[in-house]
Chains A and B, each alone.
Chain A
């Protein structure tokens, strides 16, 4: 298969073009450094051609992890005979930051005898703002073809496909030879070309500046930051409540309709307890994950996240992190795995290590079902301000805040305790323009995330709930859970959890949650499903309330889940991206820390109440 490479500066629209041309859904967002690995797929209009999306890089001399990946992949790809063409994407409205890279790429392609074409993206912005851009002049100056395209409006794609179809040898005919030109000369040339061909005027900068004056002003900007973060957490809980209720009633309605139809009692019990009780209890939380991913996506795509990184840079530095850690940390609120990959964009190795330390403490969406369950158990669902703000949302904010606080304390402590030999790396970040988020990719991304969540976590949950159900149902047919195999096992581990005021049922649920945190909910659902009477399938919350779980234990559970590293995948990825030693140290110390902290919390709450 022929391969075509898609290179370019960060945030120039490579992944957007890739998605348009392949029909796939690579992650796209308005922040430089979103793509951190290469992705590939066949082109819709040329099925025998595979397009390869690269992480953005400002030059072929990388300073961060994802750039190094792009550069080393590029070197491999240029030596690959299957690579038939290189497409270099530039943001036509901001040519000045792309030209140096373009020249470097042209030089490398000429050295390796690969045809190269420049795609000047964002032609819609050029048109809408009546900017002047001269692709023909630029093409003459560079000696390679320049095509104006817009990924947003799918414009210019015919010329693009046509140029890919042309015989490679024709494309190789270069009017200008950059082969021998050293980097310093390329830089100078880039500047001259930028002066000549960059769209003139400051229309774009001025409209961006008006918003920045607000979002980056000393007082209002800080307030806006907290308001946005607050709304963010409210949205997860309060705004997704109606969808969750809907899912909940669908699940229980289905259960009530299906279970009586099953003639065999054991199978009926299994379907009711393990499937509807266990897996169903977890499905209820999927809407929250959808809302969470969507809201993070909106923040990223609007361009605000880069501003947030800037605002947070100084405060984060106190804790050994950098403003660039902000995006990985915020992604960690969705899931630690993409967050660990996103940390590649943190250029300093030391600060990247600190970011790794903090990520698993970020309140990820796998914790959300657990938090939501416990919060719903103890906190009334009253709302204020027309349902915009609720007590449960506030409680969630508090526990999320707790996780982040622990993360900062850990990195702060470790960075103070470990001597720093190298000087701090400086902070440079491109601030992308503010853009109205586009609904379709955002919704698609949130949908994909939910699908992933359901299929990946769902498989584990299904397996675990099945095992838990079998152990809990036999040998006495669900008559007495305490005397079942599970009960015997539970009483064996109970002493570990008794100091937290938790009985063996919670102990078992915690043990299973080391596979993945959300399994906790499924396991509890199954256990209470076996225990509960058959006629009324109560929501899990009601079961827990009825079981008389003390408040202190509830809070201790929240604290335990906030700190412990109960996720096999995170440990594996940490070992791969960081080191096995790091992963192991974090696993053990976060576990011990979680246990001790929750013990402390339980004792304090018990004394107070």
Chain B
């Protein structure tokens, strides 16, 4: 397995890409950081970018069986590490 991982923002994931949450940027208000962590966006958690509706609309991310939509303000402040072995979607 190729473990070369690159850190980027959740917002940079393309639909179908999966990554592991590594931390949060400091642009995110503390209350919202708490909220996304309660949603399951915790360091170590696997997230998948499911959809990008385009036109700057909030994007859709999946954690386990839950689906959330986050806008740029939040998703750009969630740091993730991508493993090169991208799990494609069915």
Contacts and interface: CB of A to CB of B under 8 A. Distances in A.
Contacts of B86: none
Contact of B60 (A100, A201, A313, A431): A431
A314 B57 CA distance: 6
Interface stretch (A209-217, A365-373, A411-419): A209-217
B28 A426 contact: yes
B42 A311 contact: no
B38 interface: yes
Contacts of A429: 58, 68-69
A214 B31 CA distance: 33
B35 interface: yes
Contacts of A101: 38
A226 interface: no
B40 A97 contact: yes
Contact of A206 (B39, B40, B56, B90): B90
B72 to A, nearest CB: 8
A245 interface: no
Interface in A405-443: 424-431, 433
Nearest to A312: B57
A593 interface: no
A212 B60 contact: yes
B73 A212 contact: no
Contacts of A59: 34-35, 38
Most chain B CB inside 10 Å of its own CB: which residue of A101, A212, A427: A427
B30 to A, nearest CB: 9
Interface string B46-73: 0000110111111010111111111101
Contacts of B90: 206
A156 interface: no
Interface in A293-337: 306, 310-311, 313-314, 323
A539 B40 CA distance: 60
Given A428-B69, A429-B68, A314 B56 contact: yes
A199 B65 contact: yes
A426 B70 CA distance: 8
Contacts of A191: 40, 42, 44-45
B54 to A, nearest CB: 4
A311 B57 contact: yes
Interface residues of B, number: 37
Nearest to B55: A314
A463 to B, nearest CB: 48
Contacts of A424: 73
Contacts of A206: 90
Contacts of B50: 205, 209, 212
Q: Is the interface of A mostly helix, strand, loop or mixed?
A: helix
B25 to A, nearest CB: 12
A194 B42 CA distance: 11
Contact of B64 (A94, A218, A425): A94
Contacts of A58: 35, 38-39
A171 interface: no
A221 interface: yes
A536 B44 CA distance: 78
B62 A205 contact: yes
Interface string A183-209: 100011011001000110110111011
Contacts of B7: none
B51 A313 contact: no
A96 B60 contact: no
A190 to B, nearest CB: 8
Contacts of B73: 424, 426-427
B29 to A, nearest CB: 7
Contacts of A188: 42
Contacts of B51: 209, 212-213, 216
A484 B77 CA distance: 71
B6 interface: no
A589 B41 CA distance: 45
Contacts of A323: 58
B64 A96 contact: yes
A431 B53 contact: no
B39 A430 contact: yes
Contacts of A26: none
B13 to A, nearest CB: 15
Nearest to B61: A431
Nearest to A63: B31
A122 to B, nearest CB: 11
Contacts of B67: 205, 208, 212, 430-431, 433
A93 interface: yes
Given A59-B35, A63-B31, A429-B69, 12 more contacts: A58-B35, A187-B37, A205-B50, A212-B67, A311-B57, A313-B58, A426-B73, A427-B70, A428-B32, A428-B71, A430-B66, A431-B60
Interface of A: 58-59, 61, 63, 93-94, 96-97, 100-101, 183, 187-188, 190-191, 194, 198-199, 201-202, 204-206, 208-209, 212-213, 216-218, 221, 306, 310-311, 313-314, 323, 424-431, 433
8 contacts: A61-B31, A96-B66, A101-B38, A205-B62, A212-B50, A313-B58, A427-B69, A428-B35
User: 9 tightest CB-CB pairs across the interface, nearest first?
Assistant: A426-B73, A218-B54, A427-B71, A96-B40, A431-B67, A426-B74, A100-B38, A216-B53, A94-B66
